Copies of this chain bind each other. A is one copy, B any other.
Amino acid sequence: MPDLTALETAFETAGHRLTRPRRALAELIDARDGAFSAADLVADAQGRRLGIGRATIFRAIELLEEIGALERIDLPTGEHAYVPCGPAHHHHVVCRRCSRSVEIGDLGLGALARDIARKTGYQIDVHRLELFGLCPDCRLASVPA
């Protein structure tokens, strides 16, 4: 079974079955190239007349999130989006127009968190940093003059 995509191998190496719906969803996600909502995937699947049930899509998202191949992003609007990524600690910069995103490393945030812990007395277990704006392409496109 060659030519497994990153998401497909993620399923396998985590000890889960590589089923037809999961393969199809991995392909849909790859085709998106950026952050997407669950509704996006549902629409994609229905548009291509794959017979994939809604519940299956949510289950796949949940599973990929547990595996660490997908991460939930909380958009400024309050909606949830998901973005494919590796398991190492990192953060995301997301384009508010086309949803393409890039990962950035911790960039000293771990140290900052420790500093905050010292100052506030809180024991800090998790932190999340998300940045939103315009990717280079959309930035150019939005300044037509």
Q: Which residues of A are at the interface with B, using a C-beta cutoff of 8 A? A: 72, 74, 76, 78, 80, 93, 95-96, 102, 104, 107-109, 112-113, 115-117, 119-136, 139
Contacts and interface: CB of A to CB of B under 8 A. Distances in A.
Nearest to A135: B122
Contact of A116 (B72, B126, B131): B131
**Most interface-central of A112, A123, A135 (chain B CB within 10 A):** A123
A93 B120 contact: yes
A133 B121 contact: no
Contacts of A116: 93, 104, 107, 131
21 contacts: A72-B78, A74-B128, A76-B128, A93-B122, A93-B124, A95-B122, A102-B120, A104-B120, A107-B112, A108-B112, A113-B131, A116-B131, A121-B135, A121-B139, A122-B133, A122-B136, A124-B133, A125-B133, A127-B129, A128-B130, A129-B129
